Amino acid sequence: TQLLEQSPQFLSIQEGENLTVYCNSSSVFSSLQWYRQEPGEGPVLLVTVVTGGEVKKLKRLTFQFGDARKDSSLHITAAQPGDTGLYLCAGYQGGSEKLVFGKGTKLTVNP
Amino acid sequence: KAGVTQTPRYLIKTRGQQVTLSCSPISGHRSVSWYQQTPGQGLQFLFEYFSETQRNKGNFPGRFSGRQFSNSRSEMNVSTLELGDSALYLCASSPGQGLMNTEAFFGQGTRLTVV
């Protein structure tokens, strides 16, 4: 059983469209992180959300942490081909240093 | 400052062989975690080492093992390789001081193919 469920698994859109990807869990997390991974590279941290209900913006990317701290979403406005990649959510499990990941959303933005 | 370095980048092994992968963390980082990434299962946590001690462990068979040296460099070993072990193995380093919001810095990974 996956601790963090991400949806959709795949997303292919045209440049300029908006999109939202989701990360859900039945467990409460003290924080959730979002990473982006490009082919041939390791994941790179985009943002960490800590407080329930928190919204963070990174240029055209908006991240939200659910009030109950069990879910998070990533919204991209006016997607660009450079946004193409695998988007992963992650959280530290059970107060440990064990960082667990969802399976990711593979995003393709077509020019 | 230098990032996380994993060697080798690519590896081809035969079933039944064993393999050792290496990871050099960012200078000053004491925690090293290992992950297996496959298309079907995503990033699966293998284990985490801190100050030469295994602190956390994932649900992998005993064929998967690791260690960490006094300079924080880490190795992972897979014995009796199976076809299903073919994957991208990623190493991540962090300061490891128990801060739950800590960023994990990843290497580029080692692509292991078992034939």
Residue B98 is predicted with a pLDDT of: 62
Lowest mean pLDDT among A71-85, B5-19, B58-72, B92-106: B92-106
Mean of pLDDT over chain B: 93
Residue B99 is predicted with a pLDDT of: 62
CA distance linking residue A109 with residue A44, whole number of Å = 19
Residue A99 is predicted with a pLDDT of: 86
If you average pLDDT over residues A78-84, what whole number do you get? 97
Residue A96 is predicted with a pLDDT of: 72
If you average pLDDT over residues A77-106, what whole number do you get? 91
Please give, rounded to a whole number of angstroms, the shortest distance from the CA of B62 to a CA of chain A.
18
**Beta-carbon separation of A97 and B107 below 8 A:** no
User: Could you give the angle at the alpha carbon of B46 between the alpha carbons of B40 and B47, nearest 5°?
Assistant: 160
Q: Which residue in B16, B42, B38 sits closest to B114, CA to CA?
A: B16
**Beta-carbon separation of A42 and B92 below 8 A:** yes
Mean of pLDDT over chain A: 93
**Beta-carbon separation of B33 and A48 below 8 A:** no
Q: Does residue A36 have a pLDDT over 90?
A: yes
**Beta-carbon separation of B45 and A41 below 8 A:** no
**Beta-carbon separation of A103 and B33 below 8 A:** no
Task: Kindly tell me the sign of the dihedral angle through the C-alpha atoms of B65, B104, A73, B37.
Answer: negative
pLDDT tens readout for residues A47-69 = 999 999 999 999 999 999 999 99
Q: Are B102 and B50 in contact (CB under 8 A)?
A: no
Strand order in the sheet with B74-78: B5-7, B19-24, B74-78, B64-68
Q: Which of A2, A40, A99 sits opposite B104 (nearest CB)?
A: A99
Q: Is B72 on the interface with A (CB under 8 A)?
A: no
Please give, rounded to a whole number of angstroms, the shortest distance from the CA of A31 to a CA of chain B.
6
Q: Which of B33, B98, B101 sits opposite A31 (nearest CB)?
A: B101
Q: Which of B4, B41, B50 sits opposite A97 (nearest CB)?
A: B50
Q: For chain B, what percent of residues have pLDDT higher than 90?
A: 83
**Beta-carbon separation of A101 and B104 below 8 A:** no
Residue A97 is predicted with a pLDDT of: 74
* Residues on A contacting B at a C-beta cutoff of 8 Å: 2, 30-31, 33, 40-45, 48, 50, 88, 90, 92, 95-104
Q: Which residue in A40, A36, A49, A48 sits closest to A109, CA to CA?
A: A36
Q: For chain B, what percent of residues have pLDDT higher than 70?
A: 95
pLDDT tens readout for residues B56-101 = 899 999 999 999 999 999 999 999 999 999 999 999 999 876 666 6
